Amino acid sequence: MTNVELQKHIDNWFTDPGAVKLEFSEEGSQFLNISIHPDYLHELMWSLKHNKETHLDYLFCLTGVDWGKELGVVYHLESTLHRHSLVVRANVEDRENPVLDSVQDIWATANFHEREVYDFFGIKFNNHPNLKRLFLTDDWEGFPLRKDYVDEVNMVVK
């Protein structure tokens, strides 16, 4: 499907679009982007994979981003059948205790990728079977890829 068809198709899923707050955008990106409220993230992701029309079965990138005020995760999806792609974003405002739903039950690759995001951004994922640090040691303090992370010993500040 083209981006326009995708957008039309997905927009029909939620009967009350005002509450779900789907935001579509193609600005500044080569993909169609959807912003979704964290509460509806898992529901949307489940449909994106299991709906026959979208069939987005390949999660090729999962990125944690520190947007300054908010923390977010960006999911890059592709369909191995229809060869269309889509980007889904979910942001959380609570920097002290950011929580999102895990999608590792939908795409197995998300298991490691979410652990990486937790390791570097401190975003916790609900229903993740093994959410602990992946690269850093368990007693590491702070989350290094956050913009406000300070490590006077190991970081060279220009």
Specify the stretch interacting with another protein by CB under 8 A; choose among 2-10, 11-19, 93-101, 136-144.
136-144
Residue 83 lies near another protein (rule: CB under 8 A): yes
* Segment interacting with another protein, rule: CB under 8 A, options 7-15, 36-44, 75-83, 90-98: 75-83
- Give the residue carrying structure tokens 């990138």: 61
Q: Cα–Cα distances in Å, from 99 out to 46, 67, 156?
A: 18, 15, 31
54, 61, 73, 84, 142 from 117: Cα distances, Å: 26, 12, 8, 25, 13
- Should residue 95 be labelled a site residue for another protein when binding is judged by CB under 8 A? no
Stretch that binds another protein, among 9-17, 36-44, 57-65, 90-98 (CB under 8 A): 57-65
79: nearest Cα among 31, 23, 27: 31
**Does 20 sit near another protein (CB under 8 A)?**
no
Which lies closer to another protein via its Cβ, residue 18 or residue 28? 28
Token pair in block for residue 38 = 């964290």
Binding positions for another protein, rule: CB under 8 A: 27-31, 57-61, 63, 65-66, 74, 76, 80, 83, 107-109, 111-113, 116, 120, 134-137, 144-145, 158
